[in-house]
Amino acid sequence: MNAALDPSTLQIKPTKETYDRFQQAYDHFNKALFGGTLPNALITLQRRKGTYGYFAGARFRHEDGRMADEIALNPATFTDRPYKEVLATLVHEMVHLWQHHKGEPGRGRYHNREWADQMKKVGLQPTDNGAEGGKETGESVSHVIVEGGPFDEAADRLLGKGFTIIWKEAPPAARPATKGEGAAEPEIVQKSGKRVRYSCPDCDLKAWAKHEARLMCADDQTLMVASA
């Protein structure tokens, strides 16, 4: 017999409380950093390993034929990062969206000079090593927040209005035990020395390598996943 449902859980709306706030943040930075010129994207939460977020142009289509881009954020990274860093990831992907509509994106996941220059205009210093002085362009480029720059000041204004991320992933120790279908994720166990098939979750590129290898898809800049 199932335990009685806590009446207080009937009043919460995790989806609305999460996505309304990210839409608020998107609108705020669109106006503050891009002059309100960016189209709205569909913001999703994706647990892609090895990344804080990503952008995909025209990933969704409305039933009337209109298209929308995707900006994905990794909820597994919310707990241990300051809100301003999570918001910087959002703006990083908004620069990719800006370039998709108003510029000339590089091939695949390549971060080109146009993208790097726009990042600096909004107050995010591109870097390939996570520190100032790193390469500004390349296949895998992150950023650091420029202190006192446009993003830093815009983020302070948003946080000053009480912006927060209410829902974050609970640590495993805090999660109650569950029963029934879907309660546990399958674990892929491979024999030592056996070659494993890996695939890119974006483009379905396939490769074979030893167990526990770390393979990266160069075009999509994402870790390839072992298949059963």
Task: Please report the domains of the chain, with CATH numbers, ordered by start residue.
Answer: 13-108+150-172 (3.30.2010), 186-228 (no CATH)
Q: What local confidence, expressed as pLDDT, does residue 172 receive?
A: 83
> Which pair of structure tokens corresponds to residue 63?
């039933």
Q: What local confidence, expressed as pLDDT, does residue 221 receive?
A: 58
pTM of the model: 0.77
Within the chain, residue ranges assigned H as helices are 14-34, 83-102, 113-122, 150-160
Residues 127-143: pLDDT tens digits? 999 999 999 999 999 99
Buried b (16+ CB within 10 A) or exposed e, 73-95: bbbebbeeeeeebbbbbbbbbbb
Q: Confidence class of residue 42 from pLDDT cuts 50, 70 and 90?
A: very high
Residues 45-71: pLDDT tens digits? 999 888 999 999 999 999 999 999 999
Cα–Cα dist 81/90, whole Å? 13
> Which pair of structure tokens corresponds to residue 11?
């009043």
In the predicted structure, residue 72 carries a pLDDT above the cut 80? yes
In the predicted structure, residue 182 carries a pLDDT above the cut 50? no
Decide which of 117 and 213 is more confident. 117
In the predicted structure, residue 80 carries a pLDDT above the cut 80? yes
Q: Confidence class of residue 1 from pLDDT cuts 50, 70 and 90?
A: very low
Name residues whose C-beta falls within 8 Å of residue 145's C-beta, 6 or more positions apart in sequence.
Answer: 84, 85, 88, 123, 124, 125, 151, 152, 155
Mean pLDDT confidence for 59-87: 97
Closest CA to 140 of 131, 149, 148, 129: 129
Q: What local confidence, expressed as pLDDT, does residue 49 receive?
A: 86
Cα–Cα dist 211/180, whole Å? 30
In the predicted structure, residue 211 carries a pLDDT above the cut 60? no
Q: What separation, in Å, do the N-terminal and C-terminal C-alpha atoms of the chain show?
A: 34
In the predicted structure, residue 8 carries a pLDDT above the cut 60? yes
Decide which of 16 and 211 is more confident. 16
